[in-house]
Chain A
Amino acid sequence: MSTFRTALRVVAGHPIYLALYVVFLSLMGVFVVGDMGVAISGEKGGYAAYEARVAVVDRDGTALSDALAAWVSDAFELVDVADEPLALQDGVATGQVDCLVVLPEGFERELLEAARAGDEVPALEVAYGQDVQAGALAAQAASRWVSLAAGAAALEPAASATEVAHLAQASVAERAEVDVRESEGALGGADRLATYLNFSTYSVMSSIVVVAGVSLAAFQRPELRRRTAAGPVSPACLSAGQVAACLVLVVAVWAWTCAVALASCGGALAGTDPALVACALGSVLPFALVPLALAFLLAQLGLSEDAVNACGNIGAMMLSFLGGAWVPLSMLPDVVQMAARLSPSYWVSQAVATVLHAEALTPELAAELGTNLGIVLLFAVTLFAVGLALGRARRRVAGAA
């Protein structure tokens, strides 16, 4: 029991690791799925027009340019940007603005004159931001508004600029009706949870490898090993205490991950079978045994705290990357997709995706889930066995066994 308590004290003695790997990384996942909530909520009312971010640089200051700016604020999200080079460059470069529409001095006069004379009307000057597609959308819509104004001016040669603006405004308000069909792979509320749990393979793996690794490595220091070996406690009891403490850590990290997942994604889960959600959350627990086995392996190798930290962090990053935690695997090259099958995070991601995309918990689904999680557990068993073998070999070489 004292070994168990000591192992937990070692864990508690590293609050920075707990705060950084357990708390901070799991909250980082909330940022990763942050914009998915907006994306999915936009679908609830059927068709909703995309609101590009548009800035209008009005150097004309006339009735027509004012009306165009007013229409932009109705149709899109109007962004206020100062008309000076650095501010304009900042606007398009930082993604504040998808499309910057420049209305030069003389815009109204030149447009009306050209439209009424039958000449070519001046082009609309625009600059796109990072999202070129959204910029093109706004540019197309603004060009349509100006075209309608030019058409109105040509049809009504005597109309004032204010009347032309009114005609353009009245006609552009007419919109075509749009029917929506659900596409294959349309995002639902459960996909938010699936994405979070997919990302959490990184936070769970790095936190358990580092924190459990530090705790296990503390018992591998030569001085401590000599003292404990001379004590009246059997090696089995010592190991059991350490493993029990690490299992407490595993369960705590899993529970924290589930709590953050439900807090950040719970609102989007209406309509999803609670049993399926429970299965998805439960899938993370067997996966959490893999980093524990990895931590055991690293400790058996006698790595220092810094080395465990580095291996845990970078190793977790690579393995979770192969599981599709950072970017969907479908977007990666074929070689990476093949290599991904050698990563336990791939199989737990498969398990979570299978469960959350199912309608109900059926025996077939349970069998598929069991297969995926069985493979995950095999990774844990293999790493643990390798750790045992290497630890034994290492002690024999050192003459300590």
Chain B
Amino acid sequence: MGTSFLVSVKSLVRTPSVIVWVLAFPLIMSAIFLFMFSGMRTDGAVDPVPVALVAPVDEKDDASAGSFTQVVKALAEPGEDQLLDLRRVGTADEAEVLLASGEIDGYFEIASDGAPALTVGSAYTLASADGASAVNRTILETVASSYVQSRALLEEVARRDPAALADPAAVTDALGIQVAVERVQITHARPEEIVRYYYALLGMSTLMASQAGMLAVAYAQPGVSALGARRAVSGTSRLRQLAGCALGAWAVSTVALTLAFAFLRLVAGVDFGGREGLALVAVAVCALLATALGACVGALPLSAGISARSGILTALTCVLSLFAGLYGTAAMELADNLAHTLPWTSWVNPTKLVCDTFYALYYYTSLAPFAARLAACVAGALALLAVAGAIFRRQSYEHL
């Protein structure tokens, strides 16, 4: 078994396709993701909405208590709660130019009765196809609506009980009540969409690593190569050969995935919630699952050779990665909906299971969900290895 292990490790590290798919592919994809997401990283803070307030220079600064201008100014105060990035312009034409160029998402004009009129730009542009402008426009509309809502409240109260508005100071105080928003974090680490794509990439890379398990086992198949035929008639039992091949492939794929993990953590700066030690354990366990899957495909009694088995694994990897949400926002929504409506699919799809293992480590305050997914990876690996063992141990080679 020791010899099988050593020979498997040596032959795998000398196989170009292992170097390409198991080692280089995750690194290249990580580098592409790094470029892709370099302009999209957020610090978790709200980006103040760029907005203009049309206020002619010769007009007296209207900052009386309760006025819309005062409300807007308060929301534009620098600090953690800053919601607006306010700039004052002299005329509506100046604001129109800024709006058309995309520098602001909208502008307010104050009518003679103090009511604000809001003008906004397009919700979706080439520069903000993700809908950031659509959200910002609604934030501006919410701010503008606060004025008409206060007026509606006064009218409603006056209709019910006119005496309630007898004291102007009390009315001003009542309308000036602003309930503060206290932001709390309920997850272990801050929710970050980009992190989920990196975890999905780890899922895909792990499944790509199954190529190593497949190659190690397939090379020991008499129907695949002359070397396999010689190994089949050797004195070492088939199960011991399988164990050596699988262990060798596991070692190679663990090292390759650890390098990919190191790249993600140290170069791409992907956050693992400060649980890097546990993440390395997850890398080793996920590599075991991938190796077992590869061994199972490598042991299949197919008359086809390595290329067909490699094609099966590549197809499986690409399709299953779709359900882990790797291919963009729509795919991520599909994966989330599928996980919500059919939760068992998350446990049987190895890409999703690997993705969720890192996800559980990052988001949940408790480590129980992480442990459950690790256990599922180990159980899946053992089941697949048992199937591989059953197939690999005895096969008919009549067709040869």
> 1/0 per position for A128-146, CB-CB distance to B under 8 A?
1111111011011111101
> 1/0 per position for B292-312, CB-CB distance to A under 8 A?
000000000000001110111
Residue in A34, A175, A181 whose CB lies within 8 Å of B99: A181
Residue B175, interface by CB 8 Å:
yes
**Given A148-B153, A306-B17, do A156 and B127 touch, yes or no (CB 8 Å)?**
no
Query: Which of A93, A156, A177, A184: most chain B CB closer than 10 A?
Result: A93
Query: Which of B16, B186, B333, B363: most chain A CB closer than 10 A?
Result: B186
A-B contacts counted at CB < 8 A amount to: 323
Residue A172, interface by CB 8 Å:
yes
> 1/0 per position for B72-116, CB-CB distance to A under 8 A?
000000000001000000000000100111100000000000011
Within 8 A of B (CB), among A172-215: 172-187, 191
Residue B340, interface by CB 8 Å:
yes
**Given A20-B311, A306-B16, do A154 and B173 touch, yes or no (CB 8 Å)?**
yes
- Nearest opposing residue in chain B for A303, CB measure: B16
**Given A89-B363, A331-B40, do A136 and B150 touch, yes or no (CB 8 Å)?**
no
A148 to B306, CA, bound (A): 70
Contacts of A144 in B (CB 8 A): 142, 145-146, 149
**How many whole Å from A30's CB to the nearest CB in chain B?**
8
How many chain B residues have a CB neighbour from A under 8 Å?
Answer: 116
A137 touches B145 (CB 8 A): no
Residue A317, interface by CB 8 Å:
yes
Within 8 A of B (CB), among A145-159: 146-148, 150-152, 154-156
Contacts of A131 in B (CB 8 A): 135, 193
- Nearest opposing residue in chain A for B164, CB measure: A155
A191 to B124, CA, bound (A): 11
**How many whole Å from B284's CB to the nearest CB in chain A?**
24
**How many whole Å from B211's CB to the nearest CB in chain A?**
10
**Given A39-B124, A310-B17, do A92 and B186 touch, yes or no (CB 8 Å)?**
yes
> 1/0 per position for A203-229, CB-CB distance to B under 8 A?
000000000000000000000000000
B25 touches A48 (CB 8 A): no
One of B227-235, B314-322, B373-381, B382-390 at the interface:
B314-322
A31 to B323, CA, bound (A): 12
B340 touches A96 (CB 8 A): yes
Residue B62, interface by CB 8 Å:
no
B contact residues vs A (CB 8 Å cutoff): 16-17, 20-21, 24-25, 28-29, 32, 35-36, 38-40, 42, 44-47, 83, 96, 99-102, 115-127, 129, 131-139, 141-153, 156-157, 160-161, 164-165, 170-171, 173-175, 177-188, 191-193, 196, 306-308, 310-312, 314-315, 318-319, 322, 327-334, 336, 339-340, 359, 363-366, 369
Sample 14 A-B pairs with CB under 8 A, ordered by A number.
Answer: A16-B312, A16-B315, A34-B328, A34-B331, A95-B193, A122-B179, A123-B182, A126-B182, A127-B183, A127-B185, A156-B164, A177-B118, A181-B120, A330-B127
| 4 nearest A-B pairs in the assembled complex, by CB-CB distance | A34-B330, A186-B122, A176-B144, A183-B121
Beyond A48-B123, A140-B139, A176-B115, 5 additional contacts (C-beta under 8 Å) are A28-B331, A156-B161, A184-B102, A185-B125, A327-B36
